[in-house]
Amino acid sequence: MPIITYREALRSAMDEEMARDENVILLGEEVGQYDGAYKVSQGLLDKYGPKRVIDTPITEEGFTGVGIGAAMAGLRPIVEWMTFNFSIMALDQVINNAAKMRYMSGGQLKVPIVFRGPNGPAEYLAAQHSQALQTLFVHIPGLKVVAPATPYDAKGLLKSAIRDDNPVVFLEGELMYPWKGEVPEEEYLIPIGKADIKREGNDVTIITYSKPLLVVEQAAKELEKQGIQAEIVDLRSLRPIDEETIYNSVKKTNRCVIVDESWPMVSVASHVGWMVSRYCFDYLDAPVELVTSEDVPMPYNHKLELAVQPSVEKIFNAVKKVMYI
């Protein structure tokens, strides 16, 4: 299979869906003439024109609302936020309109829209631009939330998100755009709501998603040197969440560590930890351990920035704890 970058996989997904369905449009800051802040939409303006690839003002609440209205009118908009840190400005539109309209209309109105862009810490961006905000969206009924960690998953899930009749929040990562991976040339879809076993193991289950997958895989290699075989569960989808895959893995390994780059309180990690503790209680040989970002705003200093986030050392120590080593 061809090896392409994460950004190329996203672009390919949008290109294929825009070619397949003329109702698919892309709008956001600098998505057109500038080819996207991270060059994800490169070439799409030339191919599909300014009526379908639309540069917007720097007004997240405004163009997000325009996208929601367009979705209710029959289009399938992809709204690109330059960063999810700016999505905070649009939360009223997302939570009170996109998420609720199908329910409040008794199913008469569909809102087939995708909100996408980079989420989570990058580098040297300080407290206001290095936030992992997935918990805000996962909390809301009516939204679907996905967070793929590989180019293969990114393409398959974005195509599924664009075709979905519900609003989908699609979490990427600034540092993930150059990541490379195998992506088939033929069309494929990945269903929303299905996790993936990225690595088989029998000693401990490590559950993660999005950018932390890389550091989890590095930790798994270090653990293997100690004779510990870690099974890595990549959630991919945060709402709906694949409970069956999680429980089956924990029942096999009897131990669980959850790695999440968001803050620990009321997070995806804390919810999954509750799920495992509740429904796999009789199978656990140790309490569930969480490895999250520290419960502080992101520092600007790079050494402190790295110290705040999940690391190989933190994951290694968490696994040792549940293994009673």
Residue by residue, pLDDT tens for the chain (325 residues) are: 899 999 999 999 999 999 999 999 999 999 999 999 999 999 999 999 999 999 999 999 999 999 999 999 999 999 999 999 999 999 999 999 999 999 999 999 999 999 999 999 999 999 999 999 999 999 999 999 999 999 999 999 999 999 999 999 999 999 999 999 999 999 999 999 999 999 999 999 999 999 999 999 999 999 999 999 999 999 999 999 999 999 999 999 999 999 999 999 999 999 999 999 999 999 999 999 999 999 999 999 999 999 999 999 999 999 999 998 6
The CATH number for 95's domain is 3.40.50.970
Q: What is the pLDDT of residue 324?
A: 87
What is the number of domains present in the chain?
A: 2
Q: From 149, 182, 215, give the residue that closes a domain.
A: 182
Looking at the structure, tell me whether residues 203 and 312 fall in a common domain: yes
Do 216 and 206 form a contact (C-beta atoms < 8 A)?
yes
The rounded radius of gyration (Å) of the Cα atoms in the chain is: 20
Same domain, 217 and 315: yes
Catalytic residue among 8, 17, 29, 60: 60
8 catalytic per annotation: no
Structural domain span for residue 99:
3-182
What's the confidence (pLDDT) of residue 229?
97
Q: Could you tell me if 17 and 91 lie in one domain?
A: yes
Are residues 71 and 112 located together in one domain of the fold?
Answer: yes
Q: Which of 16, 30, 61, 129 is catalytic?
A: 129
Q: Quick one: 99 and 158 in the same domain?
A: yes
CA separation, residue 52 to residues 67, 93, 110 (Å): 12, 21, 20
What CATH number does the domain containing 215 carry? 3.40.50.920
Same domain, 233 and 312: yes
Place of tokens 């709906």: 240
Query: Do 235 and 312 fall into the same domain?
Result: yes
Query: Residue 108: inside a domain, yes or no?
Result: yes
Any domain includes 191: no
**pTM of the shown model:** 0.96
Place of tokens 């999250």: 292
Length of the chain: 325
Per-residue pLDDT reduced to its tens digit, 163-199: 999 999 999 999 999 999 999 999 999 999 999 999 9
The confidence score (pLDDT) of residue 189 equals 98
CA distance linking residue 270 with residue 256, whole number of Å: 12
Model pLDDT, residue 161: 98
Residue 318's Cβ-side half-sphere holds a number of Cα atoms within 13 Å equal to: 26
Q: Is 50 exposed, middle or buried (0-12, 13-18, 19+ CB in 10 A)?
A: exposed
Residue 60 annotated in active site: yes
Assigned token pair, 277: 């503790």
